[in-house]
Structure 1
Amino acid sequence: MCLGIPGEVVEVGVDRPDLAMVDVSGVKRAINIGLLDEGEVGPGDWVLIHVGFAMSKIDEAEAKAAMEFLEGIGQAYADEMAALLESRIE
């Protein structure tokens, strides 16, 4: 099962504007935001992430609802978090 997981953008790269540091449940990772329009996201914005790529920008209420859903389904959430932890974009 492929799921997206919400994360909050902490910072967008200056030298690499296609990368952003995102916080997902306390885990900070660099993710690729190149699939989104340039300037669409900045610190404090929420994005839906799948294996290291931001798929779309979402609002905070949608992010909270998604996290509650993911935590409620158990293993699929654990699998998505494991995929995020294994992804390394540099």
Structure 2
Amino acid sequence: MCLAIPSKVVEINKETNIAIVDTMGVRREASLDLMQETLEIGDFVLLHIGYIMSKIDEESAIQSLKIYDELIKDMEEDEEY
């Protein structure tokens, strides 16, 4: 099973074709090599194995991130028992 995680673009380096994205509070580099759309700082994207796959709307990104957060909390609670 593959997951694409919603992330927010916080920096873009056009020379290296790399963006810095924030994924649930963690910043990481992501390749823009597979993107055909133009991105701007503040855009939400789907990140998969280090590549930005597509741009998504903010509402969808926020809803998905809330679900991920709930899943993580549930998993942490299960580990406590």
- The verdict on a shared fold, with TM-score over 0.5 as the criterion, is yes
Q: Which runs of 5+ in 1 are unaligned?
A: 75-90
Question: Mapping of 1:61-72 within 5 angstroms?
Answer: 61-72=59-70
The residue number in structure 2 matching 1:49 is 47
Match of 2:29 in 1: 30
Q: Structure 2: how far apart are the matches of 1:9 and 1:45?
A: 6
Higher RCO structure, 1 or 2 (CA under 8 Å, sep 6+): 1
1:25 Cα deviation from its structure 2 partner = 1.3
The residue aligned with 2:78 is none
Considering only aligned residues, what root-mean-square deviation do their CA atoms show, in Å? 2.0
Question: In the TM superposition, what is the alpha-carbon distance from 1:60 to its structure 2 partner?
Answer: 0.9
Q: CA deviation at 1:35?
A: 0.8
Aligned partners of 1:14, 1:4: CA distance in 2, in Å? Answer: 23
Distance, in Å, in 2 between the alignment partners of 1:15 and 1:3 is: 28
Q: Unaligned 5+ residue runs, structure 2?
A: 73-81
Alignment-mate amino acid for residue 19 of structure 1: I
CA 13–5 in structure 1, closer or farther in 2 if over 3 Å, else same: same
CA distance in 1, matches of 2:56, 2:70: 20
Report the residue type matching 2:36 in the other structure: D
Percent identity between matched residues is 40
Residue in 2 that maps onto 1:11? 11
Q: Secondary structure at the match of 1:64?
A: helix
